[in-house]
Amino acid sequence: MEITGGCLCRAVRYRVSTPPLATRVCWCRLCQYLGAGSGTVNTCFPTEAVSVEGELRDYASIADSGNVMHRRFCPTCGTHVFSEAEARPHLIFVRAGTLDDPEVAQPAATIWTSQAPSWACINTAWPAVAGQPPPVS
């Protein structure tokens, strides 16, 4: 199977050769910046399965979990495409909005609900974790 996606202006394109390991909705405070006030949906793949074409810029910051996170985005259209934790370089998180087929992302949990605003719409059909969940693998 092949999963494809990219940024809004199509300067950045990626292909993934394996199914997702996991998808989660994240309501951490930082994701609210990236998600225009909402949480973000992030689909995790093995880093080695993802190939990227096009230029990305990197913004590094320390997450509430204490991890140094790298968030990579298209410098032309500003779309955030990937995030990676320095501590777990074998995993890459794809911003699910960049998938050509959004159905590929099937969220299984909501994380960082402790940081969500009172009006956040959180799907009670999935487990919710107040903070950082255990690593995917």
Binding residue (CB under 5 A) for Zn ion from 3, 16, 25, 26:
26
CA-closest candidate to residue 74, choices 30, 16, 3, 8: 8
CB 7 within 8 A of CB 77: yes
* Residue selected from 60, 62, 68, 77 as contacting Zn ion according to rule CB under 5 A: 77
Among the candidate windows 14-22, 68-76, 83-91, 95-103, which touches Zn ion by CB under 5 A? 68-76
23: which 2 tokens?
């998808």
* Amino acid letter for position 20: P
- Is 11 an interacting residue with respect to Zn ion (CB under 5 A)? yes
Q: Is 65 in the site for Zn ion (CB under 5 A)?
A: no
Q: Comparing C-alpha atoms, which of 27, 13, 24, 50 is closest to residue 119?
A: 27
Q: Does 130 contact Zn ion by CB under 5 A?
A: no
Residues lying near Zn ion in the complex (CB under 5 A) are found at: 7, 9, 11, 26, 28, 31, 74, 76-77
